[in-house]
Amino acid sequence: MDSLTEENYIKSIYALSLATGEVFVSELAKKLNIKQPSVNSMMKRLATKKVVAYAPYKGIRLTEKGKKEALSIIRRHRLAELFLVKVMELGWEEVHDIAEQLEHVDSKRFYSRMDEMLNFPKFDPHGEPIPDSNGKIYTQKRTALSDLVEGLTATIAAVGEDEKSFLDHLNAKGLQIGDTVTLKKRELFDGSVTLQHKSKKEILLTHQVAERIWVE
């Protein structure tokens, strides 16, 4: 079994390698807020455990075993987040930090009961897909709200971040998963967008925020 620390490394490697399949020591170090030499020695350890493929000066990539483990951790994290929102009625902005801890709980029963109580859900409270128990995960290219064509209407499907500060911001703007928005105007100068919201209100979002909202 992996330690909590190892699980966190694996999860981060998975997230960072989604785009290109590989990650660099420097990226991992920044993401985990630790120094490069620490990452370097952990990679040697994970390589010994056959979780990553790693050769000096080359990028890091998860092995099939490593991917399986990553998806299992992500499954637990997202299932926990949804449970906290649906069953325990916490806000979508306060569940990530708790799920960071619950994802390391070692108990098949705990998670299978969550899964049952939530009726085998497919998405977490932030719209992210929940891998199934075999590690299969729903994926499809998504459109960022910042790239939506002017004049078009779309539905908010997911948010690309679940940090409290970002979600507090969306709460303040009155935006939620499932909301329908129409892109009224995109400023050429700074990429900020003005939305027409179902609430009839016009909402202004900076590019930084709009690019973290996925629509379909």
Task: Centre a 10 Å sphere on the Cβ of residue 84 and count the other Cβ atoms it contains.
Answer: 21
CA–CA dist 73, 92 (Å, integer): 19
CA–CA dist 83, 179 (Å, integer): 21
Of 49-108, binders to DNA (CB under 7 A) are 54, 56-59
Using CB under 7 A as the binding rule, whether residue 1 contacts DNA is answered as no
Q: Closest Cα partner for 78 from 139, 21, 124, 137?
A: 124
Token pair recorded at residue 197: 């919201």
**Which does residue 113 touch among DNA, its own copies, Mn ion, none (CB within 5 to 8 A, set by kind)?**
its own copies
Instruction: State the nearest-atom distance from the C-beta of 88 to its own copies, in Å.
Output: 5
Using CB under 8 A as the binding rule, whether residue 118 contacts its own copies is answered as no
**Which does residue 124 touch among Mn ion, DNA, its own copies, none (CB within 5 to 8 A, set by kind)?**
Mn ion
| Binder of DNA out of 10, 13, 16, 25 (CB under 7 A) | 25
Instruction: State the nearest-atom distance from the C-beta of 64 to DNA, in Å.
Output: 21
DSSP state of 123: B
Chain centre to alpha carbon of residue 152:
26
Task: Centre a 10 Å sphere on the Cβ of residue 147 and count the other Cβ atoms it contains.
Answer: 15
Instruction: State the nearest-atom distance from the C-beta of 70 to DNA, in Å.
Output: 16
Token pair recorded at residue 57: 């000066």
For 92, list phi and psi in degrees, rounded to 5.
-60, -20
Using CB under 8 A as the binding rule, whether residue 161 contacts its own copies is answered as no
Using CB under 5 A as the binding rule, whether residue 212 contacts Mn ion is answered as no
| Binder of its own copies out of 107, 119, 139, 140 (CB under 8 A) | 107
Binding footprint of DNA on the chain (CB under 7 A): 3-6, 24-27, 33-38, 40-43, 45, 54, 56-59
